[in-house]
């Protein structure tokens, strides 16, 4: 499915996706849609938490089946820490 957004909405969605740490607007929209699913609580942090084990297992299965596998090595974790530090600095009004 392709959804065309008006420019002002697209710009806002891109900014919000970046702010929340999504790689793309598509990931952000998927998260918004999934947060509306029964069995999920959506905390103000922008993430979501399953209400029960079945919901958690379903989300884990979906995650394992999505996308190409990635190598989770020290370089991966260093990059994750760097991105997190940048996001926290930005949130707190400082440059990283």
- Tell me what pLDDT residue 23 has: 83
- Tell me what pLDDT residue 28 has: 84
Instruction: Enter the pTM of the model.
Output: 0.39
Where along the chain do its domains lie?
1-65, 69-96
Average pLDDT over residues 58-63: 87
Instruction: Say how far apart CA 19 and CA 15 lie, in whole Å.
Output: 6
> What does pLDDT average to over the chain?
82
| Each residue's pLDDT tens digit, 1-46 | 888 989 999 999 999 888 888 888 888 888 888 777 666 555 555 5
Confidence band for 56, pLDDT divided at 50, 70 and 90: confident
């Amino acid at each position: 499915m392709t959804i065309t957004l008006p420019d002002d909405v697209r710009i806002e969605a891109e900014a919000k996706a970046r702010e929340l740490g999504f790689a793309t607007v598509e990931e952000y929209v998927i998260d918004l849609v999934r947060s509306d699913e029964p069995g999920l609580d959506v905390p103000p942090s922008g993430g979501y938490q399953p209400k029960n084990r079945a919901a958690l297992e379903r989300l884990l299965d979906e995650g394992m089946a999505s996308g190409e596998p990635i190598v989770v090595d020290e370089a991966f974790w260093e990059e994750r820490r760097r991105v997190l530090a940048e996001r926290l600095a930005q949130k707190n009004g400082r440059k990283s």
